[in-house]
Amino acid sequence: MKRIAESTVRRLSAYLRFLEEFEAQGHQTISSGELAAQGGATSAQVRKDLSFFGSFGKRGLGYSVSALSSSLREILGLGRQWNVVIVGAGKIGAALAQYEGFRARGFNVVGVYDEDPARVGGTLDGVVVRDQRELEADIARLKPHIALIAVPAEAAQALVDRVVRSGIRAILNFAPTPLTVPEKVTLRSVNMALELEILSYALVNADD
Protein backbone atom coordinates (compact mmCIF):
# COMPACT_ATOMS: atom_id res chain seq x y z
CA MET A 1 0.00 0.00 0.00
CA LYS A 2 1.00 3.58 -0.66
CA ARG A 3 2.74 5.50 2.07
CA ILE A 4 0.21 7.42 4.13
CA ALA A 5 1.01 10.84 5.59
CA GLU A 6 0.97 11.14 9.34
CA SER A 7 -1.45 14.03 9.09
CA THR A 8 -3.87 11.68 7.37
CA VAL A 9 -3.65 9.06 10.13
CA ARG A 10 -4.18 11.81 12.68
CA ARG A 11 -7.38 12.87 10.96
CA LEU A 12 -8.65 9.31 10.56
CA SER A 13 -8.40 9.03 14.31
CA ALA A 14 -10.43 12.19 14.72
CA TYR A 15 -13.05 10.98 12.25
CA LEU A 16 -13.40 7.75 14.21
CA ARG A 17 -13.96 9.57 17.46
CA PHE A 18 -16.69 11.67 15.96
CA LEU A 19 -18.29 8.70 14.21
CA GLU A 20 -18.62 6.93 17.55
CA GLU A 21 -20.37 9.94 19.05
CA PHE A 22 -22.57 10.22 16.00
CA GLU A 23 -23.43 6.53 16.15
CA ALA A 24 -24.39 6.83 19.81
CA GLN A 25 -26.86 9.50 18.75
CA GLY A 26 -28.55 6.97 16.53
CA HIS A 27 -27.49 8.30 13.12
CA GLN A 28 -27.19 5.80 10.30
CA THR A 29 -25.31 7.73 7.64
CA ILE A 30 -23.02 10.72 7.46
CA SER A 31 -21.63 12.83 4.63
CA SER A 32 -18.04 13.88 4.16
CA GLY A 33 -19.15 17.44 4.84
CA GLU A 34 -20.65 16.61 8.23
CA LEU A 35 -17.61 14.58 9.12
CA ALA A 36 -15.32 17.43 8.10
CA ALA A 37 -17.15 20.18 9.96
CA GLN A 38 -16.08 18.55 13.19
CA GLY A 39 -12.31 18.77 13.06
CA GLY A 40 -11.91 21.82 10.90
CA ALA A 41 -11.16 19.78 7.78
CA THR A 42 -12.84 20.10 4.39
CA SER A 43 -15.13 17.58 2.78
CA ALA A 44 -12.64 17.00 0.00
CA GLN A 45 -10.00 16.23 2.57
CA VAL A 46 -12.19 13.63 4.24
CA ARG A 47 -12.92 11.92 0.94
CA LYS A 48 -9.29 11.99 -0.09
CA ASP A 49 -8.15 10.59 3.25
CA LEU A 50 -10.61 7.71 3.02
CA SER A 51 -9.86 7.07 -0.65
CA PHE A 52 -6.33 5.95 0.25
CA PHE A 53 -7.86 2.92 1.88
CA GLY A 54 -10.83 2.13 -0.34
CA SER A 55 -14.34 3.25 -1.26
CA PHE A 56 -16.50 3.36 1.79
CA GLY A 57 -19.33 5.64 0.72
CA LYS A 58 -22.37 5.60 -1.56
CA ARG A 59 -22.63 8.41 -4.09
CA GLY A 60 -25.49 10.72 -3.36
CA LEU A 61 -25.90 9.23 0.08
CA GLY A 62 -22.79 9.38 2.20
CA TYR A 63 -21.19 6.83 4.49
CA SER A 64 -22.74 4.22 6.76
CA VAL A 65 -21.72 5.36 10.23
CA SER A 66 -21.25 1.89 11.64
CA ALA A 67 -19.50 0.45 8.60
CA LEU A 68 -17.10 3.36 8.37
CA SER A 69 -16.41 3.17 12.10
CA SER A 70 -15.34 -0.42 11.92
CA SER A 71 -13.32 0.16 8.76
CA LEU A 72 -11.43 2.95 10.50
CA ARG A 73 -10.88 0.84 13.60
CA GLU A 74 -9.52 -1.87 11.33
CA ILE A 75 -7.25 0.55 9.46
CA LEU A 76 -5.90 2.09 12.66
CA GLY A 77 -5.37 -1.28 14.31
CA LEU A 78 -7.82 -0.49 17.09
CA GLY A 79 -9.83 -3.68 16.81
CA ARG A 80 -7.61 -5.24 19.44
CA GLN A 81 -5.95 -4.66 22.79
CA TRP A 82 -2.47 -3.15 23.00
CA ASN A 83 -0.30 -3.66 26.04
CA VAL A 84 1.67 -0.71 27.30
CA VAL A 85 4.47 -0.33 29.82
CA ILE A 86 5.22 3.00 31.44
CA VAL A 87 8.82 3.73 32.34
CA GLY A 88 9.04 6.32 35.10
CA ALA A 89 6.53 6.71 37.93
CA GLY A 90 7.06 10.38 38.65
CA LYS A 91 4.34 12.99 38.21
CA ILE A 92 3.92 12.42 34.51
CA GLY A 93 4.27 8.64 34.61
CA ALA A 94 1.74 8.42 37.42
CA ALA A 95 -0.75 10.63 35.59
CA LEU A 96 -0.38 8.50 32.47
CA ALA A 97 -0.82 5.27 34.42
CA GLN A 98 -4.12 6.54 35.73
CA TYR A 99 -5.38 8.11 32.53
CA GLU A 100 -8.72 6.54 31.62
CA GLY A 101 -8.50 7.69 28.01
CA PHE A 102 -5.96 4.96 27.27
CA ARG A 103 -7.93 1.99 28.53
CA ALA A 104 -11.06 3.28 26.82
CA ARG A 105 -9.26 2.93 23.50
CA GLY A 106 -7.83 -0.51 24.08
CA PHE A 107 -4.46 0.45 25.53
CA ASN A 108 -3.81 -1.51 28.71
CA VAL A 109 -1.12 -0.50 31.13
CA VAL A 110 0.51 -3.79 32.11
CA GLY A 111 3.49 -2.40 33.98
CA VAL A 112 4.92 0.76 35.52
CA TYR A 113 8.63 0.99 36.35
CA ASP A 114 10.82 3.27 38.40
CA GLU A 115 14.29 3.16 39.86
CA ASP A 116 13.44 5.05 43.04
CA PRO A 117 12.94 2.51 45.88
CA ALA A 118 10.51 4.93 47.47
CA ARG A 119 8.17 4.52 44.51
CA VAL A 120 8.66 0.82 43.85
CA GLY A 121 5.89 -1.25 45.39
CA GLY A 122 3.35 1.55 45.30
CA THR A 123 0.12 1.16 43.38
CA LEU A 124 -1.17 3.31 40.54
CA ASP A 125 -4.71 2.59 39.47
CA GLY A 126 -4.33 -1.08 40.31
CA VAL A 127 -0.92 -1.49 38.71
CA VAL A 128 2.02 -2.02 41.05
CA VAL A 129 5.15 0.05 40.41
CA ARG A 130 8.01 -2.36 39.79
CA ASP A 131 11.76 -1.98 39.97
CA GLN A 132 13.28 -0.71 36.77
CA ARG A 133 15.73 -3.60 36.89
CA GLU A 134 12.82 -5.93 36.14
CA LEU A 135 12.17 -4.16 32.84
CA GLU A 136 13.96 -6.58 30.52
CA ALA A 137 12.57 -9.68 32.19
CA ASP A 138 9.05 -8.29 32.24
CA ILE A 139 9.12 -7.23 28.61
CA ALA A 140 10.29 -10.71 27.66
CA ARG A 141 7.46 -12.18 29.66
CA LEU A 142 4.57 -9.81 29.01
CA LYS A 143 5.52 -8.88 25.45
CA PRO A 144 4.05 -5.37 25.62
CA HIS A 145 3.75 -3.58 22.30
CA ILE A 146 4.32 0.00 23.34
CA ALA A 147 6.52 1.77 25.87
CA LEU A 148 5.81 5.19 27.35
CA ILE A 149 8.94 7.01 28.47
CA ALA A 150 8.30 9.36 31.39
CA VAL A 151 11.73 9.84 32.97
CA PRO A 152 14.04 12.88 33.17
CA ALA A 153 15.72 13.95 29.94
CA GLU A 154 19.14 12.67 31.00
CA ALA A 155 17.87 9.15 31.59
CA ALA A 156 15.64 8.84 28.55
CA GLN A 157 18.01 7.62 25.84
CA ALA A 158 19.45 4.83 28.00
CA LEU A 159 15.97 3.56 28.81
CA VAL A 160 14.85 3.78 25.21
CA ASP A 161 17.87 1.67 24.28
CA ARG A 162 16.90 -0.88 26.89
CA VAL A 163 13.29 -1.27 25.82
CA VAL A 164 14.30 -1.39 22.16
CA ARG A 165 16.83 -4.10 22.89
CA SER A 166 14.09 -6.01 24.66
CA GLY A 167 11.96 -5.97 21.54
CA ILE A 168 9.65 -2.95 21.85
CA ARG A 169 8.76 -1.49 18.44
CA ALA A 170 6.75 1.58 19.38
CA ILE A 171 7.63 4.31 21.84
CA LEU A 172 5.88 7.41 23.07
CA ASN A 173 8.36 9.75 24.70
CA PHE A 174 7.48 12.45 27.22
CA ALA A 175 11.05 13.41 28.11
CA PRO A 176 11.99 16.83 26.68
CA THR A 177 14.96 15.63 24.66
CA PRO A 178 15.61 14.30 21.17
CA LEU A 179 16.04 10.54 21.04
CA THR A 180 17.30 8.13 18.44
CA VAL A 181 15.95 4.67 17.71
CA PRO A 182 16.64 2.05 15.04
CA GLU A 183 14.66 2.46 11.84
CA LYS A 184 12.31 -0.43 12.59
CA VAL A 185 11.13 1.30 15.78
CA THR A 186 8.48 4.01 15.68
CA LEU A 187 9.15 6.88 18.06
CA ARG A 188 6.84 9.76 18.81
CA SER A 189 7.41 12.55 21.28
CA VAL A 190 5.16 14.78 23.32
CA ASN A 191 7.01 17.83 24.57
CA MET A 192 4.84 20.05 26.70
CA ALA A 193 7.34 22.83 27.28
CA LEU A 194 7.82 22.99 23.52
CA GLU A 195 4.10 23.47 23.03
CA LEU A 196 4.21 26.42 25.41
CA GLU A 197 7.14 27.90 23.51
CA ILE A 198 5.13 27.76 20.31
CA LEU A 199 2.38 29.65 22.11
CA SER A 200 4.99 32.11 23.33
CA TYR A 201 6.07 32.71 19.75
CA ALA A 202 2.46 33.20 18.71
CA LEU A 203 1.85 35.70 21.51
CA VAL A 204 4.93 37.73 20.70
CA ASN A 205 4.13 37.79 17.00
CA ALA A 206 0.41 38.39 17.22
CA ASP A 207 -0.34 41.28 14.88
CA ASP A 208 -3.19 43.12 16.47
Partner DNA sequence: AAGTGTGAATGCGTTCACAGCA
Partner DNA sequence: TGCTGTGAACGCATTCACACTT
Interface region with a copy of itself, contact rule CB under 8 A, candidates 42-50, 110-118, 133-141, 195-203: 195-203
Residues 127-146, interacting with a copy of itself (CB under 8 A): 145-146
Q: List residues binding DNA (CB under 7 A).
A: 3, 5, 7-8, 31-33, 41-45, 47-48, 50-51, 55-63
Q: Which residue type sits at 53?
A: F
Q: Phi/psi at 86 (nearest 5 deg)? A: -110, 125
Amino acid at 81: Q
Cα–Cα distances (Å) from 46 to 13, 49, 66, 70, 71, in that order, read 12, 5, 17, 16, 14
Query: Contact at 8 Å (CB) between 190 and 174?
Result: yes
The correct pick among 13, 43, 64, 166 for binding a copy of itself (CB under 8 A) is 13
- Length, in residues, of the chain: 208
Which residues, in sequence order, are CB contacts of 53 under 8 Å at separation 6+?
Answer: 71, 75
Shortest distance, position 61 Cβ to a copy of itself, whole Å: 25
Q: Tell me which residues in 156-185 interact with a copy of itself (CB under 8 A).
A: 169-172, 176-178, 180, 184
What's the closest the beta carbon of residue 50 comes to a copy of itself, in angstroms? Answer: 14
Residue 127 touches which member of DNA, a copy of itself, none, C-beta under 5-8 Å by kind? none
- Under the binding rule (CB under 8 A), the answer on residue 77 touching a copy of itself is yes
The H or E element containing residue 170 is strand 170-173
Asked if 154 is part of the footprint of a copy of itself (rule: CB under 8 A), the reply reads no
Chosen residue from 76, 83, 136, 161 binding a copy of itself by CB under 8 A = 76
Contacts of 80 (CB under 8 A, 6+ apart): 106
* Identity of the residue, 22 or 107, whose beta carbon is nearer to a copy of itself in the bound complex: 107
